[in-house]
Amino acid sequence: MSALRTGLAAPEKLFTLALKGVALLVLLISVGLFAAAKRLFGTGDTARPGALVLIQDIARNQHAWSARMLGKQAEDVHRPLPWAGAFGVLAPLCLLVVLTVVVMPVLFAAASDGGVTLTETVVLVVLLAFGWLLAHRFVRLLALLTDWLLSPSQLARRVAELAESRAETVDARASELRRIERDLHDGVQARLVALRMSLGMAQDCSDPAQLQEFLAEAYESAGQALDDLRTLVRGIHPPVLAERGLAGGIEAAALSCPVPVRVYVELAGRPEAPVESALYFATTELLVNIAKHSGANGAVIRLTGGADRIRVVVTDDGRGGAELTAGAGLHGIERRLAAFDGKLTISSPKGGPSEFTMEVPCALS
């Protein structure tokens, strides 16, 4: 019986010795790594270039690891070198504190009680294994819970979106007014000045042939001024919208597009004039982008509207790859629609096809 007890106690002693050996080995390795890192790289302002490269590589790896753990990309934040050096010193010290406060007392207690039993060792190993395997799931769950608790409410997000949309609308209106002023100054005003000069010279002219020449110049200047005014008015609110509505305006724009465009309309009424104008100009801008950048052989426009929403879907068979970037034409379309609480959705994978969906809430009359 005593021999049996001795045989059963032997594995427990082996596990006890292994546990003690691992703890001491971790302690020695931590101290050695800390001393070697301090001697090789330095800390704080005395850090050497090799240390900077290593720290940057570690930071990139940790950045990617955190993205996998949390399920979303973390913000790339730069911190000054003294902070990195301080962190490099404090991290090993914290590890030493953990080893000193947690590991060593456990070892001493186990040694004083005659060792750790086999059952306790197995339970500890199983708990550590489960903790290691499930750690990333708990971290991701904690991140989701934190986002849910700390993220702004739906009302706050809505207020922020409306404030941003209002600011962009004011900027867009100011830019439009400056454009109109510039067009009037450089176009119509110049034509009217030339007309006045021609009429003034004709008034003082006594030669009939010269008089006819001045009158012809005045007539030409008046015609050019009228053309400039029509172009300017057409840019503010195209006459085709007033005459034929949004459907007729889009059909007219499709006919003038270099790329063949088919138009399908299912519209029960007409939206308000500002919404109509915004959708018309947004659609024409999309057609211009398709003709210039997509390399498409054809496009399709579907205009539909219900009781409280109007939708324009533009698709093409081009090369795709369209992106919503600041300063580009698509961003301008998004800003134009945002003024009416509308939105632009883009689906444009590499190789095509591309689909642009514009939706604006409005009532049809």
pTM flag (> 0.85): no
Fold of 244-361: Heat Shock Protein 90 (3.30.565)
Q: What is the pLDDT of residue 7?
A: 44
- What are the residue boundaries of the structural domains of the chain, listed by start? 11-152, 163-235, 244-361
**Other beta carbons less than 10 A from residue 340's beta carbon:** 19
Six-digit token pair at 164?
């941003």
Six-digit token pair at 282?
């947004």
| Coil/strand/helix, residue 30 | helix
Q: What is the pLDDT of residue 4?
A: 38
Tens-digit pLDDT profile for residues 96-116: 665 565 555 655 555 555 555
Classify residue 38 as exposed, middle or buried by CB count within 10 Å of its CB (0-12, 13-18, 19+): middle
Residues of the chain short of pLDDT 70, as ranges, are: 1-136, 138-139, 145-156, 158-159, 161-162, 165-177, 179-180, 183-189, 231-237, 326-328
CB 269 within 8 A of CB 245: no
